[in-house]
Amino acid sequence: MVSAGVLCGRPAAQALEEIERIHRWFLKRLPKHALPLDSLLKSILEARRAMLSAKPVRVNDFFRRPKKEAVAICPRCREAYDPRADDCCKGCRHGTYFDWV
């Protein structure tokens, strides 16, 4: 059994809108050097359950994930995805890769 990150029961991008700095970093709208790792981690830890939680899942498929160069928000599920591949995320195109346990 593997645990996957779930952000307050909402898609990650939607939950991160409440935490603007992290949101801009997550969507690659803020250069890496503009938000040093120690500052990023501090912000995430301070946000605590406002942005992070976990639920058990069983992974049933693995996608190869190339490095994201751009980030867009899926129009169907509001999850972040790499727009070079298609007009929606892999989960919406192919179905989920996990089952809730």
The pLDDT tens digits for 24-48 are 888 888 888 888 888 888 888 877 7
Please state whether the predicted TM-score (pTM) of the whole model is above 0.75: no
Report the side by side order of strands in the sheet with 53-59: 2-6, 53-59, 98-100
| Residue 96 near residue 58 (C-beta atoms within 8 A) | no
Say how far apart CA 17 and CA 72 lie, in whole Å: 14
- Backbone φ and ψ of 53, nearest 5°: -160, 175
